[in-house]
Amino acid sequence: MTMLISERTHPGRIAYALPPCDVPMHTLPDFAKRAAPAALPELSELDVVRHYTALSRRNFGIDNGMYPLGSCTMKYNPKLHEEIMRIPGLAHVHPEQPVRSIQGMLALLVALEHDLAQITGMDAITLQPAAGAHGEYTGLMLIRAYHEHKHEHRTHVIVPDSSHGTNPASAMLAGYEVITIPSDPNGLVNTEALRRVVGPHTAALMLTNPNTLGLFEKDIVEIADIVHSAGGMLYYDGANSNAILGIARPGDMGFDVVHLNVHKTMSTPHGGGGPGAGPVGVKEALIPFLPNPRIQYTDGQYTLYDNPQSIGKVKAYLGNIGVLIRAFAYIRSYGPQLRNVSEHAVLHANYLKTRLSPFFDVPVEGICKHEFVLSAKTIKQQTGVRALDIAKRLLDYGFHPPTMYFPTNIEECLMIEPTETESLETLDAFADALIRIVEEAHAEPDLVVRAPHTTPVKRLDEATAARKPVLHCHCGVD
């Protein structure tokens, strides 16, 4: 029987041995002392090691399975990039070191800024933001600073109805009113709806291209003209940039600001809250407002300087350096073949879409980019099996579920992004599993509705868990 670690406790067992204290001991004041020892499990070192090893085996990771999450690129992370990040001259740099002693690190960061500017078609890059949503907020604050510098009071940010949830959230956090516009029947930005809402209050349009449905916005030049003619700016959400690396650049499409999720697109293990980095690129007009400090090369050395018009720091020091080093290694590993990443990602998505289309509703026909959406609407009507049930059943086949119920304008939506790093055999195994689940839904729907059956934890009441979380255990430890 599986036991909790708190149930394995045995008084007197310890998993460590500390040397005698070699510094003066100072008596703690009474108010700082515990009335009783902390109620922690008492275990041997071997028990602790086995406990955490057992937990790791229950954890799903990219090294033991596919993550087909739509709109959240989850690709394999080459171990070489981990080793490069751990080179002592990089890993052991302290952020408080004198600038003259970190010249190599600053040279690397400047080179990364240059690479990202070339990839995105931007004029300058800041590496400070800690993740994608943080990059969104930073970009919107840059746009705000630009408009305020021109003495323009603009209050609206426009987002499509299929936008990522962080877009309206970031806009509201930056103090803007969010205006949502509908998609057209083809799943693209409705340009007529856009024309109706732009005006003197428009600060920006937030968009990703390809969009959340995996479709390239073919009218992007017209969209940019509509926004720019009203005095607004175009913001590029980089969540879907895995579809366009080395092929198309946001700056050439008319975007003024872009963020990149380099922890997704450029190979850093992520999830569970981090680590991340969301560099932001801008066109020339926004450069004076970039976060301080900036790096410059003068008189034969790299130095840091502040722009007087800057929005200020958005992250301690120069950003999440470990993630940025991995991104630098990723770009240099591919070199001129960087476009192969996107070509294979698009190929894999279209292959899966073609295999699965006969078994699901396909809300958007035709060629997709790096991701696509399916709908279980008809399956639900015929069998009572929902998209959620299908996703849960996938766990029994050893696959992480795809994104569910997003975008919200697609009923019973399953959103799939296979990435470029998966093999043909893995893609086929994933498709075979989904097809088998559809067959199960028709033959034995209760089997699917009650899934998963083979995981350590079975079907959970997720709504109650979210609304009434239990934030303490019953072992005496909060």
CB 122 within 8 A of CB 283: yes
Per-position DSSP letters for 89-111, written without gaps between them: HHHT--TTS-GGG-HHHHHHHHH
Residue 16's pLDDT is 84
pLDDT digits (tens, 9 = 90+) for 20-65: 888 887 878 888 888 888 888 999 999 999 998 988 888 888 888 8
Contact 371, 349 (CB under 8 A): yes
pLDDT in the model for residue 272? 56
The residues near 145 (Cβ < 8 Å, ≥ 6 apart) are: 289, 309, 311
Count CB atoms within 10 A of the CB of residue 150: 10
Rounded distance between C-alpha atoms, residue 267 and residue 403, angstroms: 20
| Average pLDDT rounded to a whole number, residues 413-438 | 97
CATH class of 79-336: alpha beta
User: Do the Cβ atoms of 240 and 209 come closer than 8 Å?
Assistant: yes
Q: pLDDT tens digits, residue range 219-246?
A: 999 999 999 999 999 999 999 999 999 9
In this prediction, residue 457 has a pLDDT band, given cuts at 50, 70 and 90, of: confident
Q: For 411-423, what is the mean pLDDT?
A: 96
pLDDT tier at 472, thresholds 50, 70, 90: low
Which backbone phi and psi does 303 adopt, to 5 degrees? Answer: -135, 165
Least confident of 176-180, 268-272, 383-387: 268-272
Contact (CB, 8 A) for 162 and 214:
no
- % residues pLDDT > 90 (the chain): 75
Which pLDDT belongs to residue 64? 84
* Spatial distance between the Cα atoms of 407 and 164, rounded to a whole number of angstroms: 8
- Min mean pLDDT across 7-21, 297-311, 356-370 is at 7-21
* Residue 233 DSSP one-character state: E
User: Could you tell me the pTM of the whole model?
Assistant: 0.89
The pLDDT of residue 83: 92
- For residue 203, the surrounding DSSP H or E stretch is strand 202-207
Closest CA to 372 of 350, 390, 391, 341: 350
